[in-house]
Every structure is written in structure tokens, then in C-alpha cells.
């Protein structure tokens, strides 16, 4: 298999990609869609007020905030931030005004509960 290359993504090239529903208020463009035991890489576009309920990481999750600000219980992460969520960590994610992130999951997360 050859490597995959996506020119200009961090400079706004993600705006030209086709997105599909992911969760309520969040759309996704899969750059690499893995399976239950394979890594995945995607661009997630969060509408204002959208979020992901509390979940546990069973593999490393790496996030690069491309636009806006993403938040969790540990802080707020503006565009240009890199967030690493190691195995065993738990959090929920939200955005007040919307954001776009490049995300890589080593393994799918385990959803622990819906947001209240």
C-alpha cells in the first residue's frame, strides 16, 4: 500500500472536502477509515454548541485544532493546538462557537454516557 498525502489541509484545504454525518452537530470526512482494531484519521467539523459525551480512550488519540476552539474538562484549545489523549484517559468534548479538527484514533473510543 502506498502512503496517503493530503496537500494543504492545515491551510484550509479541508473546506473543499465532502463531509457526512458523524454525531449530532458534527460532520466527518474520513482520510483513513479503520476498523474495530485499526487506526482511523478524519477531519471533524463541529457546529457551534456540538460535543461528544464522556468517553474512554483505549488507544492514543491525537487532535490538531484547525479552526475555532475545542474544549474539554482540562481546558480550551484554540486553532494550532495539538492535544494528545493517551490510553486510559476519559473526557467529554465540546465547542462553544464551532471548530474543525484533524483527529487520529489508534482504536475507537468507548462512549461512557451521553452529555447532559
Would you give the distance in Å from CA 12 to the centre of its chain? 16
Question: 14: phi > 0 → left, psi -120 to 50 → alpha, else beta; which?
Answer: alpha
Model confidence at 69: pLDDT above 50: yes
What is the model's pLDDT at position 116?
46
- 42 three-class SS: strand
- 28 three-class SS: strand
Is the pTM here over 0.85, yes or no?
Answer: yes
Distance CA 63, CA 41 (A): 10
C-beta separation of 66 from 45 below 8 A: no
Provide the pLDDT confidence category of residue 12 given band limits of 50, 70 and 90. Answer: very high
> What are the chain's domains?
28-111 (2.60.120.10)
Report the percentage of the chain scoring pLDDT > 70. 97
Amino acid at each position: 500500500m502506498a502512503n496517503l498525502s493530503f496537500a494543504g489541509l492545515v491551510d484550509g484545504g479541508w473546506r473543499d472536502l465532502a463531509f457526512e454525518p458523524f454525531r449530532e452537530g458534527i460532520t466527518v470526512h474520513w482520510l483513513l477509515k479503520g476498523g474495530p482494531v485499526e487506526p482511523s484519521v478524519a477531519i471533524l467539523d463541529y457546529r457551534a454548541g456540538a460535543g461528544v459525551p464522556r468517553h474512554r480512550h483505549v488507544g492514543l488519540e491525537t487532535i490538531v485544532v484547525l479552526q475555532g476552539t475545542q474544549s474539554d474538562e482540562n481546558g480550551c484549545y484554540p486553532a494550532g493546538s495539538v492535544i494528545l489523549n493517551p490510553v486510559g484517559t476519559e473526557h467529554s468534548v465540546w465547542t462553544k462557537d464551532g471548530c474543525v479538527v484533524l483527529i487520529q484514533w489508534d482504536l475507537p473510543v468507548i462512549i461512557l454516557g451521553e452529555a447532559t
